[in-house]
Amino acid sequence: MKNQTLFLFLFLFLLLSVGSTVTAFAQEEEEEQGFQQLIQEFSFSEAVYLQERREVQATLSYFRTEFDIQVGNSLSLDLEYGITDWLQVSAELENNLLRGTARNYTSHRLEMGTMICIFNSSKQAATFALDVELPLNKPDIEVGGIEEDDLSYSPVLLYARQFGRTQLHLSGGAELQADEANWFYNAAAVYGSGRWHPLLEVTGTYLEEADWYVGTGIAVNRFHGWEVIAGVRRSINRPDWDASVRVLYEFTLGKE
């Protein structure tokens, strides 16, 4: 595990260094405009956008998952705050209920995170995120709660590029916990058409074997800081599916 963690951080450091160096000169004329923010979030993957200075985003999310004979329901509240235009912090409280095992079990988790801008231009942007997840209770490991017992942390590298009125967001990283590394890879597209933004997402994870999902959704925004996002995704190689509804509100603290 130590070797995996060291390799991951060296790999991320190399990507950050090369990416910022290669793009620095090409972006000098574009930096003032910055990357256009079409939506706040995707349904199942993370977007490259950061909160601006003194900007707060509150997100209430509901997720439903069905796999095998089990059904999972999750409700979370996430708060994000922009310390500067290139640095944000976040905190998320999540409650999960899993039904269909030998016994039902509930888990509670607190996730703390930060996101740092690598570069930001009108055509492309990149950020680095690091999330630390703390279990607030210890479910009985006999009913599937072993993954909740230990602290985990997830470094993620995100990149997005503009293609006409469409943006493509790519991200990849790993959830590191105890002696395991759960790798994940995401590709998401959003189309800019006024208040209504169609979404398309492909998400994948790899622990002992690969698992891929394809999802679609819609985001509706520009209602005085409010945004609503709904999506559904289906596993390619399993009979599993997820659904989510997210309600977001964004506002600014104080005045410049």
Question: Per residue in 136-146, pLDDT tens?
Answer: 886 654 444 44
State residue 239's pLDDT score: 85
State residue 23's pLDDT score: 47
Question: Per residue in 105-162, pLDDT tens?
Answer: 788 899 999 999 999 999 999 999 999 999 888 665 444 444 456 789 999 999 999 9
State residue 196's pLDDT score: 94
Residue 15 buriedness (CB in 10 A; 0-12 / 13-18 / 19+): middle
State residue 107's pLDDT score: 84
Query: Cα 237–243–245 angle (5° rounding)?
Result: 155
Residue type, 124: Q
Answer whether 60's CB lies under 8 Å from 32's CB.
Answer: no
Query: Domains of the chain by range and CATH?
Result: 2-252 (2.40.160.40)
Token pair 């690969």 is found at: 210
State residue 14's pLDDT score: 52
State residue 72's pLDDT score: 87
State residue 11's pLDDT score: 52
State residue 9's pLDDT score: 54
State residue 24's pLDDT score: 46
CA atoms of 123 and 230, how far apart (whole Å): 27
CA atoms of 215 and 234, how far apart (whole Å): 6
Residue 174 zone, left/alpha/beta (φ > 0; ψ -120 to 50; rest):
beta
Taking 70 as the pLDDT cut, the residues of the chain under it are: 1-32, 100-103, 138-149, 255-256
CA dihedral 42, 206, 242, 238 (to 10 degrees): 140
CA atoms of 226 and 175, how far apart (whole Å): 30
